[in-house]
Structures are given as structure tokens and as C-alpha cells.
Structure 1
Amino acid sequence: MSERGARMSGLDRLVLRGRTVRSRFTVLYAALFLASGAVLLALTNLLAGTRRTTVSAPVRPPAVQDPALAAARQRIHDLESQLVQVQAEQAHRFLVGSLVALAVMAVVSALLGNLVAGRVLRPLRTITAATRRITAENLHERLGVRGPADEVKDLADTIDGLLERLEASFAAQRRFVADASHELRTPLATMRASVDVALAKAEPPPPQTVALAGRLRTELDRVDRLLEGLLDLARAQHGALADRAPVSLADLVTRATDARAAGIAARSLTLDDDGLQETAWTRGSPTLLARMVENVIDNAVVHNRDGGWIRVAASADGATARLVVETGGPVLDPEHVARLGRPFQRLAPDRTGTGSGLGLSIVAAVADAHGGRLDLHARREGGLRVTVSLPAADAPGGGAA
């Protein structure tokens, strides 16, 4: 599903954003600690400077006649000078020690801030990891965060409520697919049987009735194909792939082309399938993957010109298996080609009668449901190149993919 890729990319951005938040918390905690430490040291130095001002520098005593008194005053002056010098040296050492302590505490505060930030953000990382594990196939799981009723618990409960609503919505869609499959096929079969009964009467029907019956059959077949395409699209987008198994892309292509040999011959198309490799294996639903390959081949046959060509290749490159189907034809608009993966999109209005417009959208949905993607490119020489990339798998028996 396209939502799955968006969800994964959104969760990756959330993880990166969480790391940024942790860095911001670390800087914030360290800055607050350093600011408070700097203020404390500034107040300490200010008070120490205030005390130093109470001891003023000694003043040179005036000359006196009494030698003993002059010597005593000189001694007092020298002691006061030494005291001022000692206080200045102590103030300098105190300032240097304060700066060294502040530098050491800057490192310690950064480490402690990072530790505290990680502790604070741990519940959010747990919620992120749990949310990443929950996909459309296991919406029944819940975060189930335990703890006090705080903001984190409220966030987890909100996400659990959202998952519950999503689970109910997906279940309703799957029920609708099952009900629509039964309810819509039944009247189509009844209408088809009525037409056959009307033509099987003993009396030959009028030519107008025969022509009308033929048109009705054609339209009923078209509605039946449209319904089948819608059901396959819904299953690929919302259904669980419970029947996963190793599947050979080359075998799927061979069966699809063999089943359409008459249509290929009727349009005098040249089929080149020399690029099929037996190592092109993937793992997934055989039914959906077969429908995906059939749709790609059908698109190449139907939307081609008489006497044209089709080139098909299936290969494996490391962890990726690729199916490439190329066709010739007129030069196409790349902007129009890019929209072909959406439902009910066609290249031109004159092609509205050639299909339901679901073929390549089903291919895109099936590829996305298997962890792959569909790429459409307009060839410079004219025509279309369809590339389906899927995760590679080992062939049964231990062969490397």
C-alpha cells in the first residue's frame, strides 16, 4: 500500500526528530546549569571583592622625628602592603579556580544533560518503536503504555484510540469487499442468464434482439472485469497477504503470454522474451502476483499498435527482482504516463473504451503490498517501459535468487 511507505518514512523522520529533541534538551540542561553556576561564581567573586575593598591600600605615613615610631609605622605599612598583595593573589587564584571548575562542570553538565534527556524521552522512543511495528496486518496490537497519568500516557492512549478506529475502518472495508463481491456478481450472473435464455428459445429471435443481446453481453463482460479489478485492487490495498510463497516471475510471464498468444497473433505483435531469467524469484501472494503480471502483459497487448513489438525481461539483482515490459508506439507525454498508476487513468480520451482504467493501478497496489514499486517511463523512441521492482527471494530448494 502507498500508505505503508508514507508511514515508514514518517516514522523515520520521527526518530530523527526525537534525536534532535534529545540534543536540544541536552543543550538546554547544560546551559541552565552553566548559567546558574556562572551566576553563583559571579556573586561569590562580587562578595569577595566587597570584602577586599574594606581593606584599603596603605597610605605612606608622614615623616616623624622619633626613629622608633617611624620604624613602627614603616613596619605596619609593609605588613598592610603584604596583606593587600596576598589578598590580590588569593582573588586571582580563586578566579582561575572558578573558571577551571566551570569548564569541568560544563563537560559534566553536558553528559548529565544528555543522560537526563534520554531518560525523559525514553517513553517516546518506546512509543515510536511500537508504532513502527504496527501495520495494516496487525492493527489489533496496541501500545499499552503503563505509568502515571501524565502527558506521555495521554499521548499513548490517544494513539491507541486512533489504532482502534483504523482497525474498525479496515475491517469495514474488508467486509464491504466481501459483500460487494457476492451482491454484485449475483445480479450480473442473473442478467447474463436471462440474455442466454432469451436467445435459446425455439423461435429464432429477431435480428434486433440478437444485436441487443450481443451488446448486453459485451457490457456485462466489461462490468464483470471492472468489478473483478476493483476487488483485486481493494484486496491488494487493504487485504492481508496470508498466502505468501516463493513465486517465479519468469513462470508468471510465460503463463500470461501463453494465455494471450491468440491476441498477440491477432495484432501481429512480435514478442521478445529472451530476457527472462530463472533466478528472478520473489515471495508473496501467487494469486495477486499472477494478476499483476497479467495486467502488465494485457496493457502491453491492448495499448499497442498492429505490427508492433513487446519486450519482456525478468531478472534479479541482489535484493531486488525486476520485471520490465517495453512496447513501441508513439511518443508519450511523461506527465500523462506518470498518472497511469492511479485508478481510472488513461493516456487519451480516445482510449476510454479499451479497458477499465484499473490495470496499472492494480499493478501498483500489488507491488506496494509486497514491498515493491511500479515505475512508468515514456521511451524517447516512443512507447512505454513498465518496471516492477520487488524484494528478491530464494528459489525453492535453496537456490539463490
Structure 2
Amino acid sequence: MARLRNGTVGRRFTMLYAMVFLLSGIGLIALIYLLSRSDMIRSVPGQAPPGEPATGVAQHVRDLERQLAEVHAQQSRQLLFGSLIAIVVMAAVSLLLGRILAGHVLRPLRLITAATRRISADNLDQRLAVAGPADEVKELADTVDGLLARLEASFAAQRRFVANASHELRTPLTTIRASLDVAVAKPQPAAQTVALAGRVRTELDRVDRLLEGFLVLARAQHGVLPDRVPVSLAELAGEALAARAGAIAGKNLTVEAELASKAWTRGSPALLSRLVQNVIDNAIVHNQEGGWIRLATQDGAGAGDAGTGDAGSGDGGSGDAPWARLVVETGGNVLDQDQVDRLTQPFERLGTDRTGSQESSGLGLSIVAAIVSAHGGSLDLRVRAEGGLKVTAAMPPADPSRPDGPHGGTA
């Protein structure tokens, strides 16, 4: 038994199934023995020698022998029938026992599969850490653990590179901006110099926004949010709308805001503010002239079917769960859902108008998706049948009266 426990998986299967069928064979032999233990030595019915008349006693003996032969034949048929029944029964029992034993042997593989499914990009620090004998199962688990370690290191290196590169690039940009200021500040600068400086400043502003987006995206993807506090999505939405009143008026947009519910959630105020700003900016920048924006915050059941997207890690929009939601709808042309689903990836844009936009870096909705995921929520981008887009960010709810932890959600 010790060798059975410490052997390889193939050896375990071989030995276990061999033992099962061996026990089945022993049981079958024992059953046949029990059925045949009462048999007597078969005798062939006697015949009178040629020319010798049959006497009454001899005829009677032959009749008895014939009857005995018939009994033996009937017993043989019964033994054959019993053996067939025994084979069928033992085959069924062997299959049942084999399945039970195979399930017991393969149970570690099922545990490894379930644990691997629970591990995602947000918790690559988890390991399977399977204990047991050094067999194929443990070798597989150790290989998966090694793969997770390499993936974790790769993700961390990527995030560090984005953050470090963004920081390092700010230094030459600051130098370029200072040089422009010096050139323009000279007495009576040339008109071409002033015009060139203006164009360069515009491009520098775009690069600054792009670098800031990289920093926010790296921080959100890293998932480290030490400053978690209760935050009102309604207050953030109101502040973002007030700050963008000029842009809204410039495109003659109609805004319908339903911010009756404060929709409290728990997280980083800076990142959540950026989330709300990006969603509203997306609705303004990629809206048509004279269009409309409908914005609402929700914190209870009956919020409809919002939040069933695949950009987040939670089920914030499933059913009628009382999750905090920010819902922003816009009108416009009819969009393709497959293309919209890709907007949560960096530098993905929709249509030629978005590709050529001077105000879009292609990071807005990818930053939103990363922030929502870092806070344990879900993001849904859904095209409207009448045209336009509906964006729903569903976040775990929080009780503002409890600064030490959320109410009904996960921190």
C-alpha cells in the first residue's frame, strides 16, 4: 500500500484496476464453486451387453442413470446461467468501483483546475501549492505555479516600465516647454516662432495627457489602492459636469442628469474621479453637434440590466443587486457591438471620427475599465438600438457612515 500511495499516477491506475478485477475474478470463482459444490461424479447411463436380455433390475438402473444425467444437465445449465449473472453483476460492480477509485485518484487534478480558474490577472500572487507525493499531479501543479510566477513578474515589469517611462519622459518635455517659453519671451519674436511655439505647446499638452493616462492606467492595473474611503458617484458626476460646462455648451449638447441617489462606493477618490471624468469626456467628445447626454446614478434594486459587461471582475450588474452604478447614455449613429467591446483596450478607437480626434488618446475607456476592475466592479458598453452608446459602471456599494469598511460590498 505504501508503494501504491507513493507511485506515479499511471502505476496507481494500473494497480488499483488490477486489484479491482482480481477481486471480481475471485468473487466469480467463489460463486461458481458454491453453485457446483453439490455436484456428484457424473456417470454415463449403462447399456446391456450385446445379446444379453435386459432384466428388470438393469432396466431400472439405466432409468435411474438417465434421470441422473438429466439432473446433471439441468444443474450445468443452472451453473452456466448463474455464471453469466455473476459476470454481469461483477462487471457492473467493477465499473462502479473503478469509477470511485478513478475519481479519488483524479481529485487532485480537479482541485488544480478549480484553483487555476480562480486565478486571474488581478491575483497572480496566488499559488496552487499542492502537497503530496512527487508524482505527475504534483509536477503539473508545480509547473503551473512556475508559470504563474513568471506571469506575475512579467505583469509587474510591464507596469513598472509604463510608470517609469511616463515619469522619465516628463523631464525632456519640461525642458522643451521651458525652451519654448524662453524663445517666445525674447524681445519681438518672429511670428513664425510664436506660431510654431503654439503648435508645439498643443502637441506637448497632448503628450502630457497621454503620459498622465499611462500613469493612471498603470496604477489602476496594479490594483494597489491604499486610500480607500467612501466616495459618492453622484458628487463626482456633478463636479465633472460643472467643470465641463464650457465644452458642453460649445457643442450645444443637452444634458439630462438624475443624481438623486448619491450611489456610494468605496475606493480611491482620485481614481474614481478619473473614472467619472473619462466617461463624461467620452460622451462629450464623441457626441454629435446638438446631441444629448443622459447621466444617472443608482444605488438600489431595479436598476435594470446595467452592468452585465465583461470588462470587470464582479457581477455588479447581474439581476437586481443593489450595487452603485453610474450610467451615461448618448445618442448618435448606430454602432457595432463587436467594435464597441474592444474600446476597453488601450488605443482602440471607433470609426474614423475617433481615429482622427485631436482630443482622444485612445486610453479613456481602457482607464475606466482598469479602474472599475481594480475596485471589484464591472463595466458594460452597450450599443443602443436607436443609435449611440450606453456606458454603465457598476461598483460595490458602501455605507458612508462606516469609514472602516463597506456595507454590502467588498473592499
Compute the TM-score of the two structures, normalised by the length of structure 1: 0.76
Deviation at 1:366, TM superposition (A): 2.6
Q: Please, which of 269, 286, 291 is the counterpart of residue 308 of structure 1?
A: 291
Q: Does 1:395 align with 2:382?
A: no
Deviation at 1:279, TM superposition (A): 6.0
Question: Do the aligned partners of residues 336 and 77 (structure 1) sit closer, same or farther apart at CA in structure 2, a change above 3 Å counting?
Answer: same
Query: Counterpart in 1 of 2:344?
Result: 341
Q: Distance in 1 between the 2:72 and 2:229 partners?
A: 86
SS of corresponding position for 1:366: helix
Question: Do the aligned partners of residues 243 and 134 (structure 1) sit closer, same or farther apart at CA in structure 2, a change above 3 Å counting?
Answer: farther
1:95-244 matches, cutoff 5 A: 95-106=80-91, 108-132=93-117, 134-201=119-186, 203-244=187-228
Contact 2:264 2:400 in 1 (8 A): no
Q: Does 1:83 align with 2:68?
A: yes
Query: Counterpart in 2 of 1:322?
Result: 325
**What RMSD in Å do the two structures reach over aligned CA positions?**
3.8
SS of corresponding position for 2:55: helix
Query: Counterpart in 1 of 2:317?
Result: none
Question: Do the aligned partners of residues 341 and 102 (structure 1) sit closer, same or farther apart at CA in structure 2, a change above 3 Å counting?
Answer: same
Q: Distance in 1 between the 2:205 and 2:241 partners?
A: 21
Q: Could you report, residue by residue, the CA deviation over 1:6-63 in whole angstroms, capped at 9, with x for unpaired residues?
A: xxxxxxxxxxxxxxxxxxx9xx969x8499759967xx69xx8xx99x9476367589
Question: Do the aligned partners of residues 153 and 378 (structure 1) sit closer, same or farther apart at CA in structure 2, a change above 3 Å counting?
Answer: closer
Deviation at 1:64, TM superposition (A): 7.9
Contact 1:279 1:400 in 2 (8 A): no
Deviation at 1:161, TM superposition (A): 1.7
Q: Distance in 2 between the 1:176 and 1:195 partners?
A: 29
Query: Counterpart in 2 of 1:6?
Result: none
Aligned-partner residue type, residue 268 of structure 1:
N
Instruction: Could you tell me which runs of 5 or more consecutive residues in structure 2 were left unpaired when the two chains were aligned.
Output: 1-12, 302-319
Q: Distance in 2 between the 1:326 and 1:134 partners?
A: 33
Q: Distance in 1 between the 2:388 and 2:112 partners?
A: 48
Deviation at 1:286, TM superposition (A): 3.3
Q: Please, which of 379, 383, 387 is the counterpart of residue 382 of structure 1?
A: 387
Aligned-partner residue type, residue 347 of structure 1:
L
Aligned-partner residue type, residue 148 of structure 2:
L
SS of corresponding position for 2:344: coil
Q: Distance in 2 between the 1:358 and 1:385 partners?
A: 18
Q: Distance in 2 between the 1:142 and 1:78 partners?
A: 83
Q: Could you report, residue by residue, the CA deviation over 1:56-112 in whole angstroms, capped at 9, with x for unpaired residues?
A: 76367589886xx61221232132123223323332443444344445435543442
Question: Do the aligned partners of residues 153 and 332 (structure 1) sit closer, same or farther apart at CA in structure 2, a change above 3 Å counting?
Answer: closer
Question: Do the aligned partners of residues 322 and 59 (structure 1) sit closer, same or farther apart at CA in structure 2, a change above 3 Å counting?
Answer: farther
Q: Distance in 1 between the 2:102 and 2:280 partners?
A: 56
Q: Could you report, residue by residue, the CA deviation over 1:330-369 in whole angstroms, capped at 9, with x for unpaired residues?
A: 3445554344333223333344123112212222333334
Query: Counterpart in 1 of 2:256?
Result: 272
Contact 1:34 1:109 in 2 (8 A): no
Q: What is the identity percentage for the equivalent residue pairs of Structure 1 and Structure 2? A: 62
Farther off after superposition, 213-222 or 168-177:
168-177
Deviation at 1:219, TM superposition (A): 0.6
Q: Distance in 2 between the 1:37 and 1:277 partners?
A: 77
Contact 2:279 2:368 in 1 (8 A): yes
Q: Distance in 2 between the 1:331 and 1:156 partners?
A: 48
SS of corresponding position for 2:343: coil
Instruction: Could you tell me which runs of 5 or more consecutive residues in structure 1 were left unpaired when the two chains were aligned.
Output: 1-24
Aligned-partner residue type, residue 161 of structure 2:
F
Query: Counterpart in 1 of 2:306?
Result: none
Question: Do the aligned partners of residues 33 and 250 (structure 1) sit closer, same or farther apart at CA in structure 2, a change above 3 Å counting?
Answer: farther
Query: Counterpart in 2 of 1:363?
Result: 368
Q: Distance in 1 between the 2:325 and 2:140 partners?
A: 42
Q: How many pairs are equivalent? A: 365
Query: Counterpart in 2 of 1:4?
Result: none
Deviation at 1:397, TM superposition (A): 2.8
Question: Do the aligned partners of residues 70 and 279 (structure 1) sit closer, same or farther apart at CA in structure 2, a change above 3 Å counting?
Answer: farther
Query: Counterpart in 2 of 1:3?
Result: none
Question: Do the aligned partners of residues 38 and 260 (structure 1) sit closer, same or farther apart at CA in structure 2, a change above 3 Å counting?
Answer: farther
Contact 1:279 1:395 in 2 (8 A): no
Q: Distance in 1 between the 2:202 and 2:152 partners?
A: 39
Contact 1:34 1:102 in 2 (8 A): no
SS of corresponding position for 1:374: strand
Query: Counterpart in 2 of 1:291?
Result: 274
Aligned-partner residue type, residue 175 of structure 1:
R
Q: Distance in 1 between the 2:98 and 2:208 partners?
A: 65
Deviation at 1:222, TM superposition (A): 0.3
Q: Distance in 2 between the 1:400 and 1:151 partners?
A: 43
Contact 1:173 1:238 in 2 (8 A): no
